[in-house]
Chains A and B, each alone.
Chain A
Amino acid sequence: MTVPGHSQSQFYSQLKRYYSFYTVGFVAFVILVAILEQMGVPNRILGYLFLLATIALYAGIGVMSRTADVAEYYVAGRRVPALFNGMATGADWMSAASFIGMAGSLYFGGYQGLAFVMGWTGGYVLVALLLAPYLRKFGQFTIPDFLGARYGGHFARSVGVAGAIIASFVYVVAQIYGVGIITSRFVGLQLEIGVFVGLAGILVCSFLGGMRAVTWTQVAQYIILILAYMIPVVMMSIKVTGVPIPQAVYGGVLEKIGEREEVLFVDAKEVEVRNIYLTHAAGFEEKIKALPASLDGERQRLTRKVSDLKSTNADAREISAAERALAQLPATPGAAKEAWTRARVGAEASARTPTPHAEAHPGKDEKASRVARNNFIALVVCLMVGTASLPHILMRYYTTSSVREARHSVFWSLFFIFLLYFTAPALAVLVKYEVYNNLVGTAISHLPAWIASWGKVGLVKVADINGDGILQLAELALNTDVIVLATPEIAGLPYVISGLVAAGGLAAALSTADGLLLTIANALSHDVYYKMIDPHASTQRRLVVSKSLLLVVAVIAAYVASLKPDNILFLVGLAFSLAAATFFPALVCGVFWSRANKWGAVLGMLAGLGITLYYAMITHPFFGGGMKAGWFDIQPISAGIFGIPVGFVVLIVVSLMTSAPEREVQDLVEHVRYPSLEDDFATRGT
């Protein structure tokens, strides 16, 4: 697979042949599993087959790509063709959240969810125009490498290392957690065990072969994830519209949803259910106000209920339900306040009239709508600039064979990412159409099978609040993830497609985790150990250090993931803001403004990082803050909107106040600006 060809073009055609065979082989595998399913093999076994076969495949590629060469280990030998680097970047980029969560966010958020679609694609324009070709010409191993060379010394490099580790670590924890969720849902492993299965899947490919193994595995993972995403959506589109190209025809479906919304949202039964939720919310509010007396009252009431039921010889199920309610009653007034507040917020959410799917910047009045718009813009900016600043993505452009290939590679990256991102809004609309038209209004006793099967794992909740025996929209609670996970069943496809979707989600999570883990381990082994602690270390020693650190970081990340951190999604969002505010000004000015100097960059990075962290702390409950302290009503996830400009201003002002960088630095800036010069000097890492 990675045997060096005689030339780059031979290598390229060899790769194309390998991956064509591979794709055909994978499709044959799926067909084989489908046949097994028809023969009556149970779903659980099919789930294991998908899980084990794909992880074994990634391990195989990992073993074949093992290497003891530094350039191969860190940058895959710098000969990855643009097309394949594009696929690898696509897999690296699209995480468990993109694959499983995005369509769900779009289902619930409608237009508001598009901030993620735009932000996570538009950022590649910045990568292409401002960073990738120049970083490739510079051509070392890590992003802190560039900061160190451009801004003279260990200080800038250290800030870069810190930024890279903070941003990548929360992200990698989220991926490993995602692997745990997928394995626990599809093959019934415990989440904690699933997390460590995922860890093994990640380590087999990155441990032996570093970037080289990760690159070729990511290409394989991209092929699986895109097939797994497209097949159910195309089937769903055929079911709803009769046309197999969902992206081209869901406009008409969206129109029909709009008509349905006008009827559904004002339907008398819907209003009735929402009003019942409002009284529930008010009830919780009262109980919270009357704490601690209300908790004792509740305990007495439930105790009496249990004994009454027992004395009247009531149904055993009724008794056990009452006993469970008593056992689940919060133990302390503090816990009760927390639980009831959560219940109140949930009831209030169910009581709210939904927003029409396509409505832009919804809000109850002019001001609320303006706040929604400002937040949308701020989020798009942070996601785009963050995309162009995440070290695990930028690092991928070091692996191409030339500046020209790097430019083309960004095109392929975005193209492959675009395929999934312009499909997700179509999927959300198609599922919504099914729910609004075929599910809502059905008798509760005749709901389709997927409601029950996903209800068992708690992703779907149905409650006949008004007791009319018919499902109202407000009585249905769907988890975000269920939109993608249940699509095969909604479209009436066999279980093999569900297994394929699970394999796709797994590929998305593993590939992103691999790239991130490598970024963290490389920052520690290359930037801290080799560049700062022991510059005379032998090649062999450097690789040993790097691999040991990889193992340590991976185990720590898996451990944190197994603790099931609550706020992981918020932290991932924040990672974009942090990376954007820390890296973007220093990287862009490093190329485009030769006057930018060490102190400007260092203080700019610290100021950007500092303001972003500060804003997130004063506004997010995770850090004990609240939106009351916010500026211009901007949500904490978009904290970078303040950090990015502050970073730029500090960098520029401090640079101008201190002396211009030395001759060599100015030469370096000139050097990265031209793909090839006659008097080129070598900046390649060794």
Chain B
Amino acid sequence: MHRSEKHREYWRKNLRITTILLLVWFLVTFVPIYWAKEFNAVSFFGWPLGFYMGAQGSLIVYVVVIWLYARIMDGLDRKYGVHEEE
């Protein structure tokens, strides 16, 4: 099976989106953990920021990342004609 250039481009774009979103995931997870003491010196509506990220902030970003991925890929599927029939 030979994939057209268009298909390859779809996959490359998917990889790029996946990489960027994984990077976001990595940063909001491990930066606030590694520097938690420094983050905790900052107060965020009463929460120490390091604590806030672990309890809420990072979690909200995770939900948004997954939502964005689903939205972007919907568009990409249609643009490259690999979407499914409903």
Contacts and interface: CB of A to CB of B under 8 A. Distances in A.
A418 B59 contact: yes
Nearest to A410: B66
A674 B81 CA distance: 10
Contact of B84 (A111, A404, A415): A404
Contact of B1 (A255, A377, A414, A679): A679
Interface string B33-61: 11011011001111110111011101110
Contact of A360 (B18, B51, B69, B84): B51
B1 A408 contact: no
Contact of B45 (A251, A667, A674): A251
B86 to A, nearest CB: 7
Contact of A667 (B1, B7, B40): B1
Please classify the interface of chain A as helix (H, G, I), strand (E, B), loop, or mixed, using the class held by over half of its residues. Answer: helix
A373 B32 CA distance: 11
A360 B1 contact: no
Given A254-B47, A361-B36, A675-B77, A129 B29 contact: no
A263 to B, nearest CB: 19
A361 B14 CA distance: 37
Nearest to A111: B51
A118 B37 contact: no
Interface stretch (A119-127, A317-325, A561-569): A119-127
A254 B22 CA distance: 32
Contacts of B70: 128, 404, 407-408, 410-411
Nearest to A357: B51
B40 to A, nearest CB: 5
A414 B59 CA distance: 9
Contacts of B84: 402-404, 675-676
Contacts of A377: 30, 33-34
Contact of A675 (B33, B40, B46, B82): B82
Contacts of A414: 62-63, 66
A377 B47 CA distance: 21
Contacts of A674: 7, 10-11, 82
B50 A360 contact: yes
Given A121-B62, A124-B62, A360 B36 contact: yes
In this complex, which of A115, A130, A422, A674 has the most chain B Cβ atoms within 10 angstroms of its Cβ? A674
B85 interface: yes
A114 B3 contact: no
Given A122-B58, A252-B46, A376 B25 contact: no
A430 to B, nearest CB: 13
Contact of A421 (B18, B59, B69): B59
A111 B37 CA distance: 11
A411 B21 CA distance: 14
Contacts of B14: 673
Given A8-B86, A133-B73, A675-B84, A358 B51 contact: yes
A411 B58 CA distance: 15
Contacts of A359: 40
Contacts of B58: 118, 121-122
B83 interface: yes
A251 B44 contact: yes
B11 A673 contact: yes
A172 to B, nearest CB: 27
Contact of A117 (B54, B65, B82): B54
A118 B54 contact: yes
Interface of B: 1, 3, 7, 10-11, 14, 18, 21-22, 25, 29-30, 33-34, 36-37, 39-40, 43-48, 50-52, 54-56, 58-60, 62-63, 65-67, 69-70, 73-74, 77, 82-86
For the complex of A and B, 6 pairs with smallest distance between CB atoms: A251-B46, A360-B36, A114-B54, A251-B47, A425-B55, A407-B70
Given A358-B48, A410-B66, 12 more contacts: A122-B25, A126-B25, A129-B66, A252-B46, A404-B77, A404-B84, A414-B66, A415-B63, A422-B59, A670-B1, A677-B7, A679-B1
